[in-house]
Amino acid sequence: MKFEDLGLNPLILKQVRTEGFEEATEIQAKSIPEIQKGKDIVGQSVTGSGKTVAFSIPIIDKIRQGKGIQTLILTPTRELCMQVKDTFETFGKPMKLKATAIYGGAGMEEQIRDLRRTEIVVATPGRLLDHIGRRTIDLRNIRFLILDEVDKMFEMGFVEDVDKIINNIPKERQTLLFSATMPKKVHTVINRYLKNPVIIKGQVTVDRSKLNQTYYDIEQNSKFSLLTSLIKKRTSGLSLIFCGTRHQVDSLTSNLKKNGIKVMAIHGGLTQNKRIHALESLKNEKIDVLVATDVAARGLDIKNVTHVYNYDVPKTSEEYIHRIGRTARAGKNGDAVTLLCDRDYDNFRRVLSDKSLKVEKLDLPQFEKIRFDRGLGKPRTSGFGGGGYRGGNGPKRNGSGSRGSSYGQRSSNGPRKSNDGPRSGGYGQRSSNGPRKSNDEPRSGGYGQRNNSGPKRQGGFGNRSNRKVSS
C-alpha cells in the first residue's frame, strides 16, 4: 500500500515523500489507520519492519504546537531513544513540532531546559523517573503513550519503572504498544493499561528467502582467525559483529584494528558521543565493521548491513532473531554467520529450539592463524586505586581476588541508578559471575551464567570431526 492511500495530512504526506518513502510496510499499512481512529494498538513485527514510522506519522498529526508535552514514548536504550526522537522531528518538521530525548549519561540541566519547550518526549525509563522525582517534567497533558520495544524493556528489568511512569500520566489517553516478541510480561501490561486494543501483526519471523543463516563449529583459539579471514575475503558491504560483554567488544575491536580492518565499537560503557559517533561512522560507511553488545540489536536503523556475525552466541532464539534482523532488510539479501565453539553449545541449542530457524553448518575454509592479543582493549585499572571498598577503607585487592572486592560491596538498598539501566536491586551485591554490567544490560547475573563462560562441556556435540547441530 502507498502512503498516499492512508489518508495522511497533506503536509505530513509531503514530508514522507521528501524522505523517500513511497510504499508502506505491512505493520505501517495496518497500524496507521487504526491509530488515526484513536484506537489503542498492540503491534508486533520483526526488527527493521518500520514500527517507528508506523506510530510516529499518525501521532504527529494529532499533536498541536505549543500545548505542552502531549506525547511520551518509552524506549529501552539510549540509541533507540535518539533514533525515535529524530524520526518524530523529521516527520514533524512541517508542523514545527519539537521532540526531546531524555536518557541517562547526558546532562540534566540541558534536558530540563529542553523539556520546557517540547511537545514530544522520548525517554528511557530510568532517566524519566529521575525527572519525575525532581518535578522537572510536566506530564499532565499527555494524550499519547507509546511503549516501544517492550519485550527488550522488560528483559532489561524495567517492569516496575514502567508501572511507576504510567501511574504518573493521565488515564484518559491513547496507548500504543509495539514489540518484536510478546512474552507473558508484555501481556500483563496489555491487560492492565490498554483499552480494547486492536491486535496487529506484521512480519513476525525471519524472511528465510532473503537471509542466509550459517554457522562454523570451531575451536575457541581459532575463532578470531576465522572471523578476520571471513571479513577480509568473503564480506562485501557493512558488517555487525555481536559479542556478549563490553570487554569482549573492546578486545575484539582492538585486535581487528591491529589487523587493518576499519572498525569501531559500541556498548554501554562508552560515552553517548562515542556511541553516536560509532553508529554514524557505520551509516556513513567511514568504517566497514561495528562490534557491539546487544544494545545495537534493537530498533536501530542501520541500512546496508550485508553481514551479521555472532562472535558469541546469544542465550535465546529471540535475541538471535533481533541480531540477525539487522541484515536482509528492505528486500535485500544478507548473511548471518555464527561462530560456534564448545562453550556456546547450550546457548545454540536454545536458539535452535525455534524451529522456524534453519541454520546450515559450513565446512571450515582455509585461513591464516592470527595471534589474538588479550591485553588489547583492556581498561586501565589505575583509576580505581587499591582502596577496596568505595570509601577507600577496605582491603586492597590482590591479584587473585574477585572483582567484587575491588569495587566494594554495595547494599541491596544502594542508590537508585539514574541512567537507563534496569533498577531492580539498586546496585546490589556483586554476583560471583562478574562485575556490574553496562547501562544497556540487565543488572542480575553479572556477565552471564557460568555455563556461557565456564569450562568446556563434556561430550557436547560429540567429537570435533563429526559434530552435528540438529535444526
Lowest mean pLDDT among 197-211, 224-238, 276-290: 197-211
Query: What is residue 121's predicted lDDT score, i.e. its pLDDT?
Result: 98
Of 1-10, 276-285, 438-447, give the range with the top mean pLDDT: 1-10
Reply yes or no on whether the pLDDT at 217 is more than 90: yes
Q: Mind listing the pLDDT tens digit for each residue in 49-74? A: 789 999 999 999 999 999 999 999 99
Q: What is the pLDDT of residue 356?
A: 83
- Tell whether 41 and 92 lie within a shared domain: yes
C-alpha cell at 283: 551509516
For residue 205, the model assigns a pLDDT of 60
Q: 434: which residues sit within 8 A by CB, 6+ positions away?
A: 245, 403, 446, 447, 448
In a domain, 391, yes or no: no
Query: What is the DSSP code string of 39-76?
Result: --EEEE--TTS-HHHHHHHHHHTT--TTS---EEEE-S
Rounded to an integer, what distance in angstroms lies between the CA atom of residue 76 and that of residue 428?
Answer: 21
C-alpha closest to that of 120 among 151, 94, 162, 92: 92
Instruction: Supply the pLDDT for residue 135.
Output: 96
d(CA 27, CA 186): 19
Distance CA 309, CA 127 (A): 32
Which tens digit of pLDDT belongs to each residue from 110-136?
999 999 999 999 999 999 999 999 999
User: Does any domain span residue 464?
Assistant: no
Number of domains in the chain: 2
Using the 3D structure, point to which of 201, 235, 262 is the last residue of a domain: 201
- DSSP for residue 24: P
User: Which stretches of 156-245 are DSSP H helices?
Assistant: 159-166, 184-193, 223-234
Position with higher pLDDT, 326 vs 407: 326
pLDDT at 94: 94
**Please, which residues have CB within 8 angstroms of residue 71's CB and are 6 or more apart in sequence?**
59, 63, 88, 119, 120, 121, 142, 143, 144, 145, 146
Reply yes or no on whether the pLDDT at 319 is more than 90. Answer: no
The residue from 175, 201, 227 where one domain ends is 201
The answer, yes or no, to whether residue 186 has pLDDT greater than 80, is yes
**Most trustworthy range by pLDDT among 134-143, 329-338, 455-464:** 134-143
The pLDDT of residue 410 is: 41
Ranges 180-184, 192-196, 405-409, 426-430, most confident = 192-196
Predicted local confidence at residue 440, as pLDDT: 45
Instruction: Kindly tell me if the per-residue pLDDT of 393 is higher than 70.
Output: no
Q: For 30-34, 267-271, 273-277, 380-384, which range has the lowest pLDDT when averaged over its residues?
A: 380-384
CA 175/CA 38 separation, integer angstroms = 9
Q: What pLDDT sits at residue 120?
A: 98
Same domain, 109 and 191: yes
> Does residue 353 sit in the same domain as residue 271?
yes
Q: How far apart are CA 72 and CA 108, in angstroms?
A: 18
Q: Taking a C-beta distance cutoff of 8 angstroms, is the pair 232, 368 a contact?
A: no
pLDDT tier at 423, thresholds 50, 70, 90 = very low
pLDDT at 332 over 60: yes
What's the start-to-end Cα distance of the chain, in Å?
36
Please say whether the beta carbons of 323 and 310 come within 8 A. yes
Q: What is the average pLDDT score of the chain?
A: 81
Q: Is the residue at 65 inside a domain?
A: yes
C-alpha cell at 94: 512541517
Predicted local distance difference test score (pLDDT) of residue 429: 42
Residue 412 falls inside a structural domain: no
Banded model confidence at residue 328, pLDDT cuts 50, 70, 90? confident
**Same-domain check for residues 180 and 321:** no
Domain endpoint, select from 344, 368, 392: 368
The CA distance from 197 to 190, in Å, is 8
Residue 468: inside a domain, yes or no?
no
Sequence-separated (6 or more) residues with CB below 8 Å from residue 304? 237, 238, 285, 332
Check: CB of residue 328 under 8 Å from CB of residue 211.
yes
Kindly state the cell numbers that stand for 163.
508501572
Q: Is 264 found in the same domain as 190?
A: no
Is 387 within a domain? no
**Reduced to 3 DSSP states, what percent helix, strand and coil does the chain have, rounded to the nearest 5?**
35, 15, 50
Three-state DSSP state, 242: strand
Range 36-59 burial, b when 16+ CB lie within 10 A, else e = beebbbbbbbbbbbbbbbbbbbbb
Residues 124 and 255 in one domain: no
Same domain, 250 and 134: no
Tell whether 34 and 149 lie within a shared domain. Answer: yes
Residues 297, 344, single domain; the answer is yes
Res. 298 pLDDT band, cuts 50 70 90: low
Together in a domain, 25 and 161 = yes
368: its cell numbers:
591464516
Q: Which DSSP symbol is given to 4?
A: G
Cell of 138: 510536566
Q: What is residue 74's predicted lDDT score, i.e. its pLDDT?
A: 97
Q: Does pLDDT of 23 surpass 50?
A: yes
Residue 409 counted as domain residue: no
Which residue do the cell numbers 524451529 mark? 355
- pLDDT of 300 reads 67
Sign of CA dihedral 301, 104, 140, 426: positive
Weakest mean pLDDT among 109-118, 222-231, 296-305, 329-338: 296-305
Rounded mean pLDDT of 295-314?
A: 81
C-alpha span between 370 and 261 (Å, rounded): 14
Cell representation of residue 319: 535475541
Q: Is residue 390 part of a domain?
A: no
**CATH code of the domain covering residue 75:** 3.40.50.300
* Over residues 326-336, mean pLDDT: 80
- The CA distance from 385 to 406, in Å, is 9
Evaluate if residue 247 carries a pLDDT over 60: yes
Residues 86 and 135 in one domain: yes
User: Does 9 or 433 have the greater pLDDT score?
Assistant: 9
Q: What is the pLDDT of residue 379?
A: 64
The answer to whether residue 38 scores a pLDDT higher than 70 is yes
Domain that holds residue 219: 211-368
Tell whether the model's pLDDT for residue 443 goes beyond 70: no
Which residues face 23 on adjacent strands?
2
Same domain, 58 and 194: yes
In angstroms, the CA 30 to CA 12 distance is 18
User: With 60 as the cut, is the pLDDT of residue 448 above it?
Assistant: no
Which range (25-39, 283-297, 342-356) has the least confidence?
283-297
Please, what's the b/e burial string for 12-27 (b: 16 or more CB within 10 A of its CB; e: otherwise)?
bbebbeeeebeebbbb
- pTM for the model stands at 0.67
30-58: average pLDDT: 92
